[in-house]
Amino acid sequence: MPRYWRVDLSGVPGIAIERFDRDAQRVPLFMESLYSILASADESILTPYDAPYDRIGRALNSPDIQLVTDRKAAVEHFLQRLLLAMLTGNGDLHLANLSLLNTPTGMAFSPVYDPTPMRAYSLHNALVPTGMLFGDYSDYIKNQDQAVGFEQAISRFIKGLGITKDRGRAIIEKALADTVDFTDRVAALTTLPPEHKQRLDNIHADITQRLRAMV
């Protein structure tokens, strides 16, 4: 994540975030959201919610065009981003919140921005944005009588990204370790109402349990 500071603007609280799309001389660096990139090649993508996560994975691994310099690092980062979003109640990881940046080592994902835990609020309490499923989650697939469950969908998604089972488990374990103190951090918030804290705690506990069953 980029550096950030809490600020007060005439009594209105806010967050100032350091520009990460500039070099040391403040010259702009090329940066483009995955929404703009995918929509330019697919007329069916009209909003930032019109492509499942699997579609992003296929684009990152596409042999027709190289969107990122290090494909392996990019797909692993993408998997980690999705897992952390789920564990922290951020159900709004859409195409406009994922961008590629021209870094000193080549094209790669930009630093994280807008990682808001939207699921704290009942109006936005969804695992992922509508239209952006992964690994056929909740769908019925050929030769299977039941809909694809969470754990199976994650496994299918990892395989679709070209990540091995062992590496996938390692990434899951790291995401779990990185969020082990999440409920403590939520409890320390002074402006979030108790009912919203409880909702985030429940979400974190549920996703943690599901992911732990996979490792």
> What are the domain boundaries of the chain?
21-212
In the predicted model, is pLDDT for residue 84 greater than 90? yes
Question: Which amino acid would we find at residue 189?
Answer: L
Six-digit token pair at 61?
């691994």
pLDDT tens string 8-56: 999 998 889 899 999 889 999 999 999 999 999 999 999 999 999 999 9
How far apart are alpha carbons 137 and 63 in whole angstroms? 26
How far apart are alpha carbons 118 and 196 in whole angstroms? 10
The end-to-end CA distance of the chain, in Å, is 27
Closest CA to 174 of 76, 53, 80: 80
pTM: 0.92
Name the average pLDDT for the chain: 94
Q: Which of 15-19, 131-135, 199-203 has the highest mean pLDDT?
A: 199-203
- Strand ranges for 23-170 from DSSP E: 31-33, 99-103, 106-109
- By CB atoms closer than 10 A (0-12, 13-18, 19+), residue 155 is middle
pLDDT score recorded for residue 99: 97
How far apart are alpha carbons 24 and 9 in whole angstroms? 27
- Tell which CATH architecture fits domain 21-212: Orthogonal Bundle (1.10)
pLDDT score recorded for residue 187: 96
Q: How far is CA 13 from CA 6, 82, 117, 124, 201, in A?
A: 7, 28, 18, 22, 24
